[in-house]
Structure 1
Amino acid sequence: MATPPEVADGNIPTGVRSIKLGRSEDAIRANAEAEGISLAPANRPPYGNVSSLPLLPTGIGA
C-alpha cells in the first residue's frame, strides 16, 4: 500500500488516492493538510487551458 507522500507525488486525484490508501477523501485531505502536503495537481492550470479549446470554423456565414 502506498504512503500519502508517495501518492501525493504522483499527481493523482484525491478520490483515486483515497481508494489506493483505503481511506476517505476527507481523511486524505486532513492528513495532507496536517503534514503540509499539497494535493493540488502540479501540471494543470487552475481554470483550464485556453489553448486546448476547440477552434471555431472560419468563413461560415461571412
Structure 2
Amino acid sequence: MALSLTASIGIAEFLPTASIADVDELLDRADQALYRAKQAGRNRVELWTGEFPGAV
C-alpha cells in the first residue's frame, strides 16, 4: 500500500526594517501565503510579497 503526502506552505519573512506592527500581523501574512499556495494547486510553497489580491 502506497501513501502519498504533500504539503502547502505559506512563508512571511520578518525583517528588522519592516513595518510589521506585531506577531499577529506576521502570522496573518503567512496565512495569506498559505491560502495562495492552496489556491494555486496545493503542494506548493508561497512567499508573502504583499502583491496578493486582497492583501493588507
Q: TM-score by structure 2 length?
A: 0.28
Higher-RCO chain (CA-CA 8 Å, sequence separation at least 6): 2
Higher-Rg structure is: 1
